[in-house]
Chains A and B, each alone.
Chain A
C-alpha cells in the first residue's frame, strides 16, 4: 500500500489519486460534484507565485484550491 499524504504536501508536477476527504461542508460537496472523487486521478500543476493557492488538473480541466482546503484532501502518489 502506497502512503497517503495531504494534497497540500504533494510535489508540483506529480500525479496522484484522490483517496479521501471530509463528507460534509458545501465546499467539499461541490468539489465532488466537480468530479474530484475518491479514486479520481489528479495532477498538481503548480502553486500560485506566493505559494497559495494550488492548481490541479482533474478530468481534463484546471481547478484552483487553497492550501487550507487541500490540507483536508488525502491523496496517494502514483
Chain B
C-alpha cells in the first residue's frame, strides 16, 4: 500500500536486517543506531524476541532495522537461530524480507565471524560489514587492514567501536547509499556437491519462486543443515525440494561422501585465504582476558570470586531495594486513600482500591528488586562473566542433566523468579530451558520471607526468637527449595522432557568493561515487557480475588473479618478445609492460601484480617499478629498454630505455586498455558504431599 516502499526513488525506505554472532556487540550497535525508536515484541508463534527500530538516512528518510537473534551460522540449532535464517530467506510472512543486510563481526575473532558473513554473502543482497571492537585489536596483537578487506570483498566495510559510537556516522552514510555494490567475493562449491546445489536451486526457483541467488544460498544451507529446526510461523520447504535433498543425501551416504563437512571446509578455506591477506598477528603475550581467567576460573580462587560476586549481588538487592520498595508502598497507599476520598463508598470504590490497586500494588512493590536483578544479570552478561559462571557451574548442573547456563536463572530466582525465568532465553536447548523455567520458582524468593518470618515468630513462644532457631529454620527452608529444584530437574529430564545429553559448546567471550547505559536500556526494555505482558493477567487475577473476598455481601457494618468469612473466599476456605485439614490447616488458613495466590506475601495481610479479632470482639488492632495467631484455636479448643503447623505452613510455601506474576511470565515465555498450568499442578501437589507427610508423621510422633 505504501508507494514509497516499492518505488526506487530518493524516498525509498530500506529494510535492513542486523545480523552477527552472539557477544559481538550487535545489540549495542542496534541501540546506538535506533536510540529509543524501537518496537519490541515476539515473532508470532515462537518465543523469540522481535526488535525493529528506525534510523534516519542522510536524506531524512526513515529506514527500518530488524535486529535478528545472534547466531554463528544460518544452519540453525535453536528457535532463535531459526528465526534469523527464516527472516533472511524470506520464509516468514510476518516480517518483510530485508532488502539489505548489516553484518557485524568481532574484530578479535574475525576468522570465525566471517563464516556467517560468508553464508550471508551468498544471499546476493547488498551487505554492509561492520568490524566492531577495533579498540581491542592492538592489545591482542592483531592488525586488520580494513581497506584491503573492503577491496577484496567489494562491499562497504566499516571499522567501529559500537560502545563509544565510533564508526556510526560512516555506517549511517553507507546505509543511506542508494547504490550498494554486491560482493565480488567468489568461492568454489566442492565439485562432488555442485550438481546437487544446482538441482535444489532450480527446484527452489521453480517451486517456491525464490530469486536466483537466494535459491542458491538456500540450497547450500539445506545441505549443511542436517536437522533443520522448523519454527511456527515460517513457511515450510516445498515437498519437491525436500525430495531432491533426500535423494542426494541417500546417495552420498552410500558413497561415503561427507557433504556437509566438504561445504564447511571449502568456506573456511576461502575465509582463511582472505584472512591471511588482511590480518596480521603478532605475539603480545597472554591477553588480558587470559590473565583474568587465570584467577576467575582458578580451581580455588574461581569459587571465591563466584561466591563473593553472588553475595554482593544479593546484599545489594536486599539493601538497595528496601528504600524504593517502601516508597512504592507509600505511593500505593496514598493512591488508595486518594481514590477512597474522591469516590463515594461502594462496590466500585472497593473494586478499584481493594481489587485493582492493592493487587497490582502487591506486584509493583517487587519491581525494584526485579529491576536491580535485571541490572546485575545484564552486567554479568555484558562483561562476559556470565559465561564463566556457567563454565564453573556446568559440572554440578550436569549431575541433574542441565548445563551451566541454567545456573544464573536459578540463582536469580532466590530474589525473584520473574527475572530468572525471563533470562532463560540464553539456554539454547528448548527442553533444558523449559525445565529451568519449571524449577526456578522452587528457589525461595523474597516474597516468601514475610511468610517464613511470621511463622517463625508464631513458632516460638517467647517474644524474642533465638537467633539460632531462626537461622536454622531459614536455612532449612532455602535448602528444601534448592534440593527440591534439583530433584525435579533430574526427574523432568528423566521423564517428561527427556532429551539428549545437554551440550556445553559455548564461546567464552573476551572480557569487556561494563556498559552502564546499555545495561540500563536493557532493564527498561525488560521492565516494559514484564509490565505489558504480566500486567493484564495480574490485574484480572487481582480483580477476581477481590470479588471472591467481597461477595456475597454480608450485612452492612460488619467487621472486615466477618465479611471475609461470609464471602466466596471464606466459603472456599470452608470448602477447602477437608482438603487442608490433613495438613493441620483450618478454613481460616485456607482463606490465606487462596488469597495469597496473587503473591505469597499477601498471606500475611490476609491472615491479619482473618485472625485479628476472631476470638474476642474487643478492638485488638494493636495486638501483634503473632499473639493473635497464638490465641487462635480449633473449635474443640486445640491450639491452631502449633510449632508443627507453623513448620507445615512454611514447607507448604516452599513448594506451592503461589504467584500470579510467575504464572503470567511462564505463559509468555513458553507461549502456551500448558506449562504454567502444569507448574501450578506439580508444585502445589508436591507442597500438599510433603506437608501432609510432615504433619501426619509429626502428629504421630507427638509434636
Chain A positions within 8 Å of B, measured between CB atoms, are 23-24, 26-27, 29-35, 37, 45-46, 48-53, 55, 58-66, 68-69
Contacts and interface: CB of A to CB of B under 8 A. Distances in A.
B297 to A, nearest CB: 6
Contacts of B303: 49
Contacts, number: 122
A63 B258 CA distance: 24
B109 interface: yes
A37 B258 CA distance: 13
B468 interface: no
B333 interface: no
A37 B264 contact: yes
A32 B261 contact: yes
B497 interface: no
Nearest to A24: B226
A23 to B, nearest CB: 5
A23 B260 contact: yes
Contacts of A69: 503-505
A4 to B, nearest CB: 18
Interface of B: 72-73, 75, 77, 108-112, 115, 140, 142, 224, 226-227, 258, 260-261, 264-265, 268, 281, 289-290, 293, 297-300, 302-303, 387, 391-392, 394-396, 398, 404, 501, 503-510
Do most interface residues of chain A lie in helix, strand or loop, or is the interface mixed? mixed
Given A37-B261, A53-B394, A64-B394, 17 more contacts: A32-B261, A32-B265, A37-B264, A45-B290, A46-B297, A48-B297, A53-B395, A59-B111, A60-B108, A60-B111, A60-B281, A62-B289, A62-B507, A64-B504, A65-B505, A66-B394, A66-B398
B260 A37 contact: no
A27 B501 CA distance: 11
B582 to A, nearest CB: 43
Given A59-B112, A66-B504, A51 B391 contact: no
Given A26-B226, A45-B290, A55 B508 contact: yes
A53 B300 CA distance: 16
Nearest to A39: B265
Contacts of A30: 72-73, 75, 77, 505
B501 A29 contact: no
Nearest to B257: A23
B111 A48 contact: no
A27 to B, nearest CB: 5
B501 A68 contact: yes
19 contacts: A32-B260, A33-B73, A33-B75, A34-B72, A34-B505, A34-B507, A35-B268, A37-B264, A48-B391, A48-B395, A49-B297, A51-B395, A55-B297, A55-B391, A59-B111, A60-B112, A61-B112, A61-B507, A64-B508
Given A49-B298, A50-B395, A69-B503, A61 B265 contact: no
A60 B109 contact: yes
A62 B260 CA distance: 24
Contacts of B112: 34-35, 58-61
A31 B75 contact: no
B109 A59 contact: yes
Contacts of B142: 60
Nearest to B227: A26
A49 B419 CA distance: 28
A27 B111 CA distance: 20
Contacts of A66: 394, 398, 503-504
A29 B508 CA distance: 19
Contacts of B110: 60
Contacts of B298: 49
Nearest to A53: B504
B506 A63 contact: yes
A64 B109 contact: no
B391 A33 contact: no
B72 A33 contact: yes
B203 to A, nearest CB: 23
A30 B228 CA distance: 12
State the 4 A-B residue pairs at the shortest beta-carbon distance, nearest first.
A50-B395, A61-B109, A62-B508, A33-B73
Given A29-B260, A60-B108, A52 B398 contact: yes
A61 B109 CA distance: 6
Contacts of A59: 109, 111-112
B115 A63 contact: no
A54 to B, nearest CB: 10
B264 A27 contact: no
B77 A64 contact: no
